[in-house]
Structure 1
Amino acid sequence: MASPLYKHTLIYMFGRIGPALLNLIATAIFTRMVAPTEYAVLVLSVAAAQLGSAGLFQWLRMSVLRYAVGDDAPKVIGTITRLYLLQGAVCVGLMLILCFILPLFHLPWLVSITCGIMILAQSWFDYTQELQRAALQPIRYSLSFGARGLLALIIGSAGAYLTGSGFVLVLCVATAYFIAPVPFMGAMFGRPDFSRDPELTRRIVMYGLPLGAALLLNNVGVMADRFIVAYILGAEAAGLYGPTVELGRQSIFTLLQSVTLASYPLAIRALKNHGAAAAIDQMARNFGFLMIIALPSAAGLAIMRGEIAQIMLGPLFRATAEQLFPLVALSTLLLSLNTFYFIQGNQLGENTRGQAAVAAIAAIATLALNFLFIPMWGLWGAAIAAIGSQAISLASSIIISRRSFPLPVPLRHIIRPGAATIVMAFTLMVVQHFWPGTAILRTLCLFALAGVSYAGAVLLFDAGDMRQLAFRAIRRKS
């Protein structure tokens, strides 16, 4: 069962890496074209889009996958579409109300407009993506992601270059979200049945709302710090903090998401076909492969913080990124272990209440620690609060998941990739010391050296059983 894990992970990784690279390029360009104060508009709008989409719309997306199957699909899609339009009207109403509330918290009312537009754009794009998944159209699904990233890069760069306005930048990015799925819609909607079905509507609401609450709390635990920074420290601080945290998290998350997209279905299949013992064995292998990628990714971000900031961010953003990247790397590592492993224990054990409890604990910890630490230490406080809240969330997730489906934590899957990561880190720091500077050639050489040294150490220590897998592949070739 190990072979499908590595094979499927590579497939998902290549499917995700293109759009992720476009997003990284967009960050590098936008932070060079707009000031931190203007970039804060995009930071807050994207954060609001994540929160608003989770709270208002994401439960409907999950209902698409659950119910839009077979002969009932047209009626289900029609019902969910009507609910989507209703939630869209709620979003517009909240946007207008916030126009009067935000000035009381020293935030411009225009932020409400940009946030509302971005929420609607994000929810529209996500809905079309779920319809494509339900219709088993993975190629169109992937192409929509790529088109969104490319259009956001092109249109956003043009708007930022011509105006330097954060409001215009948000409108450009939102436009990309709206139009990207259109060329790939095809027969995605089929012939939806918009006739009223109260029983179906009730079933969808009862299924989706609890999940929506858990997802909203989970996003509060991850995204609320942007708004608290803006409230306490001002828009410029939020503009500096947002791209630093997002760049750090996404550079690690993209790789780990590829792992979980491939590994978690294998665990579900093992549980269904062979029982809990087989699922636990598969989850142990999943954990090993997760650690092989998570540990060096976090260490690389912390050690090469100066090189990464030099390439990926504008001059005004680099000093903040260099200071915060090590803290962001640690908080992202904790978040990744929770999101891509321990939360799955609640899912395998069908303990959705436990998952909601973990999300609530994370949200409370995030709000409390940010309001405590940011006034004391500024952006450092926000980064430290992220570490504290993610540590609390991870601990609660481990405790709660053990009651429903205990997950293994093999020490060899921590020690071996940890030792390989130490070898890579030591090699990088030695070369950085004897070869100072910021030249592009030096940075590329450091990336290559990191990959070669880590790969060699992984084979040396047999981290994740990779040496055995390599020998097996060589024997098969021979």
Structure 2
Amino acid sequence: MKDSNLVLYFGSRVVSAAGNLVSVALFTRLVSPAEYGVYVLTFAWAIIVYGFATQWMKFAYFGVYRAAQAETIVASYARLVGAATLLVALGLGLAAALGGMTPEFAAALFGLFFGMTVYEALVEVARTRLAARAVALSMIFRAVFSLVLGSVALTLEPTAISLSIAIAFAHLIAAVPSALAVKHFVGAPAARDAAATLARYGWPLILSFGVMAVGQTVDRLMISYFAGDATLGPYGVIADLMRQSFMVVGESIALALITVGKQLADEGHEAESDAVMRRAFQACLAAATFGAAFFVVFGHDLARLALGEPFAQRGYEIIPYFAVAFCFMTLKNFYFSQVIFFAKAALLEFIIAAVFVATSAAIALALVPSQGAIGGAIALMIAHGVATLAAALLGRRLRKLPVDLTALAVMPAAALGVTLAALAIDGWSLQPVAALAAKTALFAAAVGAIALRFDLFSLARGRAARGSPA
């Protein structure tokens, strides 16, 4: 992997996130909170279908991928995806025919599922082939075409169904750069042995990702049922914006560092792999802790600016809970759970997913009926915290991924300290602009100090990808 890939991935994710922020800001001004809530609900069901049907294949592919057998593995992966997609289409068609859902909802649900499946599969293949520019371009295309097609759809017909179809097409168009990067695999022969290897590796993931998808959406399903779509709309849009912000950095770390760490481990270079993974841990921890601090300090202002008052006013109280929830999520998804690829222990992912969904469902069921959106946010926060602890403790029984204890002590303490100091500024008798400037300067100074202390700026210069010890 080239040294510039982390910068390329991160830059493309930042551009993508900025585009998505503009999209959401525009979409929430074109539809009502209730109608956007229907879209959030549709997307939640699409995530569940994707989790059970095809997401496991993506991770199984990454887990078994070897460059020497690339053609056979990619071809077998493509055929498995095609077969699963056909089964989902038949299942949704049957459900619509039997009256379980409207044909329009079935079409929107399948469109989102199909778009996500094609996009994620092609980007994953391009990533393992180290086609960084194609992957980065796909990320940017997804944001751009989501904005353009979504805006056109809502202008013509401001409904959740039209937005869902537009987003589905945006995913398909965004997959084109990655598809072109791996077009030489077209016509490659599949092999029964390769497909069997994917299935053996991935069968525990079928349940784990499906269960995890349920856990990640159960709060939304319950809020829709108990509090209504008008409450779900603001809840969903704030959660998605915050989650995506954490994912920007998390996915960049996974794409650029953990891919290298696994490759080095596969080649038997354990010391170099551990050095890269230690840097990945430091980067994940910094992103998680200071990301949470950022949203606690600036989240209210950002929500009001990005979403407008009708959406933002319903979400102020849930932002701190989401901030902590996605802090845990970043550490779990982009570091501790990566152990399954090093130890070939896909069953662990199912155990973690089961812990997550059991915790999330139990707490959401207890709190959402009476507390509404706040109850859902609390359930999500606790569930992510418990699942992260489970991933860290259980994963170390299989392979001890490096954990920098100094960073583990210093970074959360620094993030908490800057948060408390910034919130204290709100109590001063300052004009809003002056208070914002003071908090921004304080936060920037803290982030800069941590980056210097742990040499995080070296990631931008590419040294971590060479496995230099930290």
Report the TM-score range of the alignment, normalised by the length of the smaller protein: 0.7 to 0.9
Structure 2 residue matching 1:297: 3-state secondary structure: helix
| Map of 2:468 onto structure 1 | none
Structure 1 CA distance for aligned equivalents of residues 142 and 443 of structure 2: 30
| Matching residue within 162, 167, 173 for 2:167 | 173
Judged with a 3 Å threshold, the aligned counterparts in structure 2 of structure 1 residues 387 and 299 are, in CA distance, closer, same or farther, namely same
Q: What is the letter of the counterpart of residue 150 of structure 1? A: V
| Map of 1:464 onto structure 2 | 454
Structure 2 CA distance for aligned equivalents of residues 426 and 91 of structure 1: 49
| Matching residue within 35, 47, 59 for 1:38 | 35
**Residues 278, 403 of structure 2: 8 Å contact kept:** yes
Q: Are 2:123 and 1:129 equivalent residues in the alignment?
A: yes
| Map of 2:347 onto structure 1 | 353
Structure label with greater radius of gyration? 1
The residue correspondences of 1:226-375 to structure 2 (distance < 5 A) are 226-265=220-259, 267-268=261-262, 271=265, 283-375=277-369
Q: Are 2:110 and 1:116 equivalent residues in the alignment?
A: yes
Structure 1 residue matching 2:400: 3-state secondary structure: coil
Structure 2 CA distance for aligned equivalents of residues 447 and 113 of structure 1: 47
Question: Relative contact order: is structure 1 or structure 2 higher (C-alpha 8 Å, sep ≥ 6)?
Answer: 2
Q: Are 2:6 and 1:12 equivalent residues in the alignment?
A: no
TM-score computed with the length of structure 1 as normaliser: 0.83
Q: What is the letter of the counterpart of residue 280 of structure 2? A: N
Structure 1 CA distance for aligned equivalents of residues 222 and 107 of structure 2: 19
Deviations 1:145-171 (Å, cap 9, x if unpaired)? 211210110111122233321211111
Judged with a 3 Å threshold, the aligned counterparts in structure 2 of structure 1 residues 14 and 221 are, in CA distance, closer, same or farther, namely same
Judged with a 3 Å threshold, the aligned counterparts in structure 2 of structure 1 residues 446 and 152 are, in CA distance, closer, same or farther, namely farther
Give the CA deviation at 1:381. 0.8
Structure 2 CA distance for aligned equivalents of residues 5 and 447 of structure 1: 37
Task: Judge which range, 267-276 or 109-118, deviates more.
Answer: 267-276
| Matching residue within 19, 22, 25 for 2:22 | 25
Aligned residues: 460
**Residues 43, 109 of structure 2: 8 Å contact kept:** yes
Task: Judge which range, 362-371 or 286-295, deviates more.
Answer: 286-295
| Matching residue within 218, 225, 232 for 1:224 | 218
| Map of 1:454 onto structure 2 | 446
Deviations 1:172-231 (Å, cap 9, x if unpaired)? 111212233346644733364487854554344333333333332333332332222223
| Map of 2:467 onto structure 1 | none
**Residues 293, 323 of structure 2: 8 Å contact kept:** yes
**Residues 215, 357 of structure 2: 8 Å contact kept:** yes
For structure 2, the residue ranges without an aligned partner over 5 or more in a row are 464-470
Judged with a 3 Å threshold, the aligned counterparts in structure 2 of structure 1 residues 446 and 94 are, in CA distance, closer, same or farther, namely farther
**Residues 47, 226 of structure 1: 8 Å contact kept:** yes
For structure 1, the residue ranges without an aligned partner over 5 or more in a row are 474-478
Structure 2 residue matching 1:406: 3-state secondary structure: coil
Q: Are 2:147 and 1:153 equivalent residues in the alignment?
A: yes
Give the CA deviation at 1:328. 0.2
**Residues 8, 132 of structure 2: 8 Å contact kept:** no
Judged with a 3 Å threshold, the aligned counterparts in structure 2 of structure 1 residues 382 and 278 are, in CA distance, closer, same or farther, namely same
Root-mean-square deviation (Å): 3.6
Judged with a 3 Å threshold, the aligned counterparts in structure 2 of structure 1 residues 5 and 326 are, in CA distance, closer, same or farther, namely farther
| Map of 1:49 onto structure 2 | 46
Structure 1 residue matching 2:183: 3-state secondary structure: coil
Structure 2 CA distance for aligned equivalents of residues 156 and 35 of structure 1: 15
Q: Are 2:83 and 1:86 equivalent residues in the alignment?
A: yes
Q: What is the letter of the counterpart of residue 39 of structure 2? A: L
**Residues 420, 457 of structure 1: 8 Å contact kept:** no
Structure 2 residue matching 1:404: 3-state secondary structure: coil
Deviations 1:391-413 (Å, cap 9, x if unpaired)? 22122222211211234544421
Q: Percent identity?
A: 22
Task: Judge which range, 236-245 or 266-275, deviates more.
Answer: 266-275
| Matching residue within 199, 202, 205 for 1:205 | 199
| Matching residue within 415, 421, 432 for 1:421 | 415
Judged with a 3 Å threshold, the aligned counterparts in structure 2 of structure 1 residues 63 and 388 are, in CA distance, closer, same or farther, namely closer
Deviations 1:65-98 (Å, cap 9, x if unpaired)? 545855772x655544443332222112222344
Structure 1 CA distance for aligned equivalents of residues 256 and 70 of structure 2: 29
Give the CA deviation at 1:367. 2.1
Give the CA deviation at 1:239. 1.5
Structure 2 residue matching 1:164: 3-state secondary structure: coil
TM-score computed with the length of structure 2 as normaliser: 0.84
Give the CA deviation at 1:448. 4.2
**Residues 123, 178 of structure 2: 8 Å contact kept:** no
**Residues 125, 181 of structure 1: 8 Å contact kept:** yes
**Residues 8, 136 of structure 2: 8 Å contact kept:** no
